[in-house]
A and B are shown apart, each in its own frame.
Chain A
Amino acid sequence: MDDIILKTEDVGVIYDRSIVALENVSLNVPTGKLTAILGPSGCGKTTLLKVIAGLIEPSSGTVKIRDKETIGPGPDRALVFQDFALLPWATVLQNVAFGLRAQGVSKREREKTSLTYIKEVGLSGFEDKYPHQLSGGMRQRTGLARALTVNSEILLMDEPFSAVDEQMRRKLQEDLLELLKIENKTVIFVTHSIEEAVYLADQVVILSGRPGSIAEIVYPEIDRLGEIDLIRRQPRYVELVDEIWSSLKSYVE
């Protein structure tokens, strides 16, 4: 059995005293692996991610990191946002350095670290551009670089590629896999795309909607060591996408 870095135990979230968004979610996240949380819109997958991030306090249950209960956000978890959440008045460099600035790292130090990650996500030359001067893909690369600078063990991604077009999404997915070969991170990834989940994840957690609870966990076991552009041609990939779709179908009206 893999080493478990993070787990949720019987997490439940109730909004406005009566709307149950999540119910009894117990989930193990193995260290250094990519876990995808997959489900139809409104199934509570983003809520689950925010509970893990410490942004939403669960109504019941706990989130544990290395068997220690956590409350609130912490430097061990960095979030990548669906809408990028970049400061429009700040340059790429300032945006990427934001997390370090919040931690009180000196300007010289944080710019040095930020430049390394800007290069790593392929944004060299755009350091002084503002978000409105960038394409959607580049904005998300900025958001990713910002999450990487703080060097947290766990990377949380909330539908990070859903706001960019299909070609850019594929490119970003490939680049993410390449990046994870260098950076040793545990990734928890929310998506509504079955293809994306199977393509990227070691563990696919399927949530059923209203109230959101774990319906099934699938382990793709796809070989990602070779050429990543060949993943989508593997028979295992095609099979899994079909399999997950047939089990998800029942939760979609």
Chain B
Amino acid sequence: MGWMTLLPPLSGIWFAFAELLEQTAFWEAFAMTARTFGIGLGLSILVGIPVGVLMGISTRADKILSIWVNLFISAPITAVIPALMPIFGIADATVIATVILFSIWVVIIDTQAGITHVKDSLVEMGRNFGCSRWKIIIWIVIPAALPEIITGVRLSVVRAVKGVIVGQIVIALIGFGGLFNTYLSYFLMERFWALIIVVFVMSFTIIGLVELLERRIAFYARTR
């Protein structure tokens, strides 16, 4: 077995890529990846932003939650995945849980940072004109923190991409993880690399889209 087996020429990878696109197994894995990624990231954002807002406006919530958030953001989540399997089963739910554990913390932390850095004068302005606490949060505080929130979302997308792939690889039986595992065990290196390229292109595309969104909002971050 030589280098050619492990690092096949690009032309070979290209053919393997074409083959890959014809396989139902690939499309099933793709659909599963897209689904778990979407649900996991969606939940991270939907839960992460309100939690971050809460921690930003309430010192009590911050005191209770910040230890956990800071613990999990730096913890090696990969090590936890085997523990998730018996809880959620070898199916979508484990991968979704992995995606959430990878991606939610950065949303929370960035949202909180955005909220706490909103200028006092903007809040005082809202109070001065008779806004309720709720209106101040919706009309002033959240929009003012939007650049940081979007940064958090972008970083969480990056982490969710890692989470969805790492989760599948650790489980090694489902989705792209299952395919990686099969290709490696049978030395189908062209397909293995073709799949790696697919994963890379997917991540870049998704992250590129979020950056585009971020740029549309960043214009007002300068004047705060």
Size of the chain B interface, CB-CB below 8 angstroms: 23
Q: Tell which of A50, A83, A89, A99 touches B129, judged by Cβ atoms closer than 8 Å.
A: A99
User: Judging by beta carbons under 8 Å apart, are A130 and B220 in contact?
Assistant: yes
Q: What are 10 A-B pairs at a CB distance below 8 A?
A: A73-B130, A79-B125, A81-B125, A85-B119, A85-B124, A98-B125, A102-B139, A103-B129, A132-B220, A132-B223
Q: What is the distance, in angstroms, from B127's C-beta to the closest C-beta of chain A?
A: 5
User: Judging by beta carbons under 8 Å apart, are A132 and B129 in contact?
Assistant: no
Q: Are A79 and B223 CB-contacts (below 8 A) given A87-B140, A87-B143, A89-B143?
A: no
Cα distance A112–B140 in the bound complex, in angstroms: 23
A100 — nearest CB in chain B belongs to which residue?
Answer: B129
Cα distance A69–B25 in the bound complex, in angstroms: 75
Cα distance A61–B195 in the bound complex, in angstroms: 73
A75 — nearest CB in chain B belongs to which residue?
Answer: B130
B217 — nearest CB in chain A belongs to which residue?
Answer: A89
A78 — nearest CB in chain B belongs to which residue?
Answer: B128
Q: Does A194 contact B (CB under 8 A)?
A: no
Q: Does B63 contact A (CB under 8 A)?
A: no
Q: Does A228 contact B (CB under 8 A)?
A: no
Which residues of B are interface residues toward A (Cβ below 8 A)?
119, 121-122, 124-131, 135, 139-140, 143-144, 146, 219-224
Q: What is the distance, in angstroms, from B120's C-beta to the closest C-beta of chain A?
A: 9
Q: Does A137 contact B (CB under 8 A)?
A: no
User: Judging by beta carbons under 8 Å apart, are A73 and B127 in contact?
Assistant: yes
User: Judging by beta carbons under 8 Å apart, are A131 and B223 in contact?
Assistant: yes
B128 — nearest CB in chain A belongs to which residue?
Answer: A79
Q: Tell which of A50, A74, A85 touches B122, judged by Cβ atoms closer than 8 Å.
A: A85
A138: chain B residues at CB < 8 Å are none
Cα distance A75–B128 in the bound complex, in angstroms: 8
Central interface residue in A75, A85, A99, A103, by most chain B CB within 10 Å: A85
Q: Are A89 and B220 CB-contacts (below 8 A) given A81-B121, A83-B119, A83-B121?
A: yes
Q: What range describes how many residues of A lie at the interface?
A: 20 to 34
User: Judging by beta carbons under 8 Å apart, are A88 and B119 in contact?
Assistant: no
User: Judging by beta carbons under 8 Å apart, are A81 and B129 in contact?
Assistant: no
B140: chain A residues at CB < 8 Å are 87
User: Judging by beta carbons under 8 Å apart, are A88 and B121 in contact?
Assistant: no
A143 — nearest CB in chain B belongs to which residue?
Answer: B125
Q: Does A55 contact B (CB under 8 A)?
A: yes
User: Judging by beta carbons under 8 Å apart, are B131 and A88 in contact?
Assistant: no
Cα distance A79–B131 in the bound complex, in angstroms: 14
A89-135 residues at the B interface, CB under 8 angstroms? 89, 98-99, 102-103, 130-132
A99: chain B residues at CB < 8 Å are 129
User: Judging by beta carbons under 8 Å apart, are B130 and A103 in contact?
Assistant: yes
A83: chain B residues at CB < 8 Å are 119, 121
Central interface residue in B119, B124, B127, B128, by most chain A CB within 10 Å: B128
Q: Are A98 and B129 CB-contacts (below 8 A) given A88-B220, A89-B143, A132-B222?
A: yes
Q: What is the distance, in angstroms, from B174's C-beta to the closest C-beta of chain A?
A: 43
B122: chain A residues at CB < 8 Å are 85, 87
